[in-house]
Every structure is written in C-alpha cells, then in structure tokens.
Amino acid sequence: MEIGASTRLLTLVGDPVAHSLSPVMYNAACRALGLDAVYVALRVPASDVSTVFQALAATGGAGNVTVPHKEAAERSVARKTDVCARAGACNTFWTEDGVLVGDNTDVAGVRGALTTLGASNGGGGGGPWLGGGAGGSARAFTTWASQIGVRAEAAHGPVEVDTAINATPLGLGDRDPLPIEPKDLKGVRTALDLVYTRGGTRWVRTLRERVKDVAVTDGRDVLVQQGAAAFSRFFPGVAAPLEVMRAAVERALRA
C-alpha cells in the first residue's frame, strides 16, 4: 500500500487499541478496492478525547471509536444520527461540510452476528434477552432490542433467557472473570460475546463446554458487520467487500 500526500487517513480512537483488528480489516478492504486510504489505531487517554475530535474535525477525519470513549465521542460530534443520539454512544464518525457526524453501527453489527448464529429476526425468537454491560455497546443493543419488541434486561443472577450478550470489555484480559456465569443462563439458545480474541474468549469456550445446544460466538462477526456498515459511511456509494474483511479478521485471529 503506497501512502502519499493525498492518502485519506481513517482512525480508530480508543484506549486500549493494541488488540484491535480494525486496521487489519479496513486496510484489507481498501487494498481490495484500490482506495487511496489507510486506517490506523490511535490510543487516546480519556482526558484528550475532546481535543482529538476537534483536530479530526479540522482535518476532515473519519473513523471509529471503541471502549471506553463511545459516550465521549457522542458528546464531541457536531451532528449525529438518530440511533447515535438514542444510544448516547458513537462508534463511527466522518466529516461533512467541515463538521463531524456521529453514528452507531454497533446495532448493525449485533443484528448481523445474531442472524449469522441463526437467531430469528436478528435474535431471540421473540423471547427475553440478557445483556451484560453498561457502556455504549450495551445501550445501543438495548435501544435496538426495545425497537423490535424484545424484552432486554441486565444480568443480575439466574434468569430464563433465550439470548445472552456480553457487552462488557471482560475477556480482553486472560484473567478477566466471566461476564455472565453459564449456570445462570437458564434455557439460553443463542449467546454473543462482543469481545474477540485469538482462540475465542473464555466465556465462549466455557459456554460451549457447559451448555448443550447453544449457538455461541465471539465478537469477530460483530466487528465485520459493524465495519461494513461504517465503511458505507466513509465511502458513500461503495459496497464494502464483506468477505475480504471477514477473511482478514479470521487470518489475524489464526496468526
């Protein structure tokens, strides 16, 4: 990939960001389509989020936001989509007419991943959902669940549930506790971990070992699905090369 004076810069804003496969995924997409753009990750302390977004607005920036800055990003953009405003969290941004516009494609990511798992209507078959987490991804998930008429509740001990979603960052570290104990998920049929790691997260591995007939995956497909939705914001009218993006993520997770 040649980087020159006209190369468009796309950025991931978060802390931490070293684990993220967004650069691998988006750079593979840009190469496949011959786009003069490069995607990089920026580790930004919480105290500097506002300053960084001011600089991105001044330079025509675009990109994504990850934990723990999605709420701060929502407050930092000049305009926002309806889903971004309702969720109070921004994970995708771009520049229009000199101002930053914020969106939240976590909803598209979760919906796509649940559909891939075989959950009807994107999840749960109409039964209750359980969501672990209180951050931007969790609020986006809860907002969408209410829109499609699914009862979503936070994780508080044993519960009868069709679909369980971990929207906490637990799982990024090897010694993290499980976000939701498998024994507390009575009747669970579908489980989705928004965290992804090489070899799968401990929660995903534990669910596969202890819960019979559960369809479960980590956040790799969420990353790809929300990334494809964000790609259309960065490059209007250009179809995201979904399979290229998915293959790049899978290769990186096998490395």
- Distance CA(255)–CA(252), nearest Å, equals 5
Instruction: Verify whether residue 70 is a known catalytic residue.
Output: yes
Strands (E), the chain: 8-14, 37-43, 62-65, 79-80, 92-96, 99-103, 129-132, 152-154, 159-160, 163-166, 185-186, 190-193, 215-217
Residue 171 phi/psi, 5° resolution? 120, -15
3-class SS at 170?
A: coil
Residue 94 bridge partners (DSSP) = 101
- Distance CA(141)–CA(138), nearest Å, equals 5
Task: With CA atoms as reference, report the closest residue to 27 among 255, 253, 254, 244.
Answer: 244
Instruction: Cite the active site residues.
Output: 70
